[in-house]
Every structure is written in C-alpha cells, then in structure tokens.
Amino acid sequence: MTDTAAVRAAHDDLQYDRIGGDYELSKLLPLTRFVERPGVLGLLADVRGRSVLDLACGTGVYSRHARRLGARRVLGVDISPKMVEVGRAAEEHEPLGVEYAVGDGADLPRLGDFDVVLAAYLFNYAGSPDVMARMARSCARNLREGGELRAFVAHPDFDFGRPLPETYGFSFGREPDPAHEGRIRVTAHTRPPVSFSAYLPPRRVYEEAFAAAGFHGCAWSPVPLSVEGVLEYGPEYWDDFRANPPWVVFRCVKGAADRRG
C-alpha cells in the first residue's frame, strides 16, 4: 500500500469529505450509466498489462475497473480522505490489488513512471490557468516518455442557456464567483441529492498548460452514448444530450512529437 504521507493533500476539499460514500449513488443515474461509465471505460480499453494512475479517483470506481480490465498496477489518488477511505473499504471487501493515496492533483510528487494517467473530472477543479499548469506538470512527472493522459472533463462549450432535462440525473449551472471565472455547480439528483462546485476552463487553458508541460498531440473527442442507453430509453430521450453534451474527452501524449515521417 502506498505511503499516504508522501502524497498528502495540500489542502482539504471539504465538499467531498461531506459527500463521502453518497457519491457512489451518482453512478446509478442515466447520464452516468450510459454516457460517463462507457466513456471512461473506453479510455481504459487497452490497459491490460499496463500501469494506471487514476487522478481524482473519488471512491475508486474506475480504479477498480482498470484492474478488472487487466492493468498490472493501479494507483488511485484523491484529495478527499473520505473518498479514499471508501475506496479502501471497497478494496478490503473485494481485494483487487488497487492502491489508494490521498493527494492533491496539482501538487503531486513523483509516484512512478505510469503508462496511463486517467483523469476523470480532475481538471474541472482548476480554478485558474496556474492551477491547470500545475496539474499538467503533476501528470508529466508521473508518466513515462510516450505515456498518455486520458481525461474525461466537463465540456468547455456546454450551453448553459439550454439546460439538460433533470430526467438524465444531473443539472449544471453557473455559480457566480468574483474570484474565479467559470465556476459552475453540478448537482446529481440522487436521494439525497449530491451537489458540488467545479470550474469550466476554456480549451486553450488545457492546450497551453499541457504543451508547456511537455505534451504533444492534444486532441478533443466526443463522448459516445452507449447502445444500451438507446435501447433502454429510446433514441428521442437522448436528443437534448446529443444537442448539448455536458462532457468531452481530452487526450495527449508525454514527450516530443515524432517528426520523422
């Protein structure tokens, strides 16, 4: 088990300490089941025999999936001790060999040379370009040359004037904050509801931060809707999602681009 003292969080994220295990309930909502889950699992499709660092792992849902998909090593890191506690309890209940540690994704030491850094929502806690730059350097510090960052993030172009129906299970709204541009509030309509603040950095903030940290090939791609979701709810149910997707995938590779071609 990783020594948590080496990667202790620089500050406590109290909103997630309050949420704790209730966050698991959000994984049962339609958007999570048929968009987020298959989208993130798609980012893990080729991890057999590879090492994965899962940043902002929460309760370890996708850390556990990575091991089930054959990753040889998985380390889940989250800023919230409560979230990590839930992940460790799941590991005790069903041992898979997942390691967990408490740490701040913007200020991580070198934990290893990983093949893949998975970051589901991590970058939506970058309240400024400086924090994004620090997160990018944390990723670079923990990837081997040629290793990949694979991030699932809130869509920078989401149209808040065209909100998604609550029947999908989530709502997204702008949250005024004079100190931080782009602050948003996300609510998962579980019982009880789970709500938290995040940020919506523009695309250029991602691209500039990762280029400066030594990455190339930065690319954006849509998050697909699973066939199962269409079969369960019908195609028309998803019209609002297709017109205004709340999430997108951001990927890039550590190291200089190969210009030999």
CATH number of the domain at 80, please.
Answer: 3.40.50.150
CA distance 168 to 170: 6
Is there a contact between 155 and 133 (Cβ–Cβ < 8 Å)? no
DSSP code per residue over 78-126: ES-HHHHHHHHHHHHHS---EEEEE--TTS------EEEEEEESGGGG-
Q: What's the domain count of the chain?
A: 1
The two counts, helices (H) then strands (E), for the chain are 9, 10
DSSP code per residue over 165-184: PGGGSEEEEE---TTSTTEE
Residue 107: inside a domain, yes or no?
A: yes
Predicted local confidence at residue 179, as pLDDT: 74
Predicted local confidence at residue 53, as pLDDT: 98
Residue 115: inside a domain, yes or no?
A: yes
CA distance 148 to 53: 11
Render each residue's pLDDT in the chain as its tens digit; 261 residues. Answer: 344 434 444 433 545 545 445 556 677 899 999 999 999 999 999 999 999 999 999 999 999 999 999 999 999 999 999 999 999 999 999 999 999 999 999 999 999 999 999 999 999 999 999 999 999 999 999 999 999 999 999 999 999 999 899 999 999 999 887 777 789 999 999 888 888 899 999 999 999 999 999 999 999 999 999 999 999 999 999 999 999 999 999 999 999 776 443
143-154 and 98-102 strand pairing: unpaired
Residue 211: inside a domain, yes or no?
A: yes
Residue 101: inside a domain, yes or no?
A: yes
Residue identified by tokens 């808040």 is: 160
Residue 105's domain spans which residues? Answer: 4-157+200-254
Residue 85: inside a domain, yes or no?
A: yes
Residue 118: inside a domain, yes or no?
A: yes
Residue 23: inside a domain, yes or no?
A: yes
Residue 188: inside a domain, yes or no?
A: no
Is there a contact between 246 and 164 (Cβ–Cβ < 8 Å)? yes
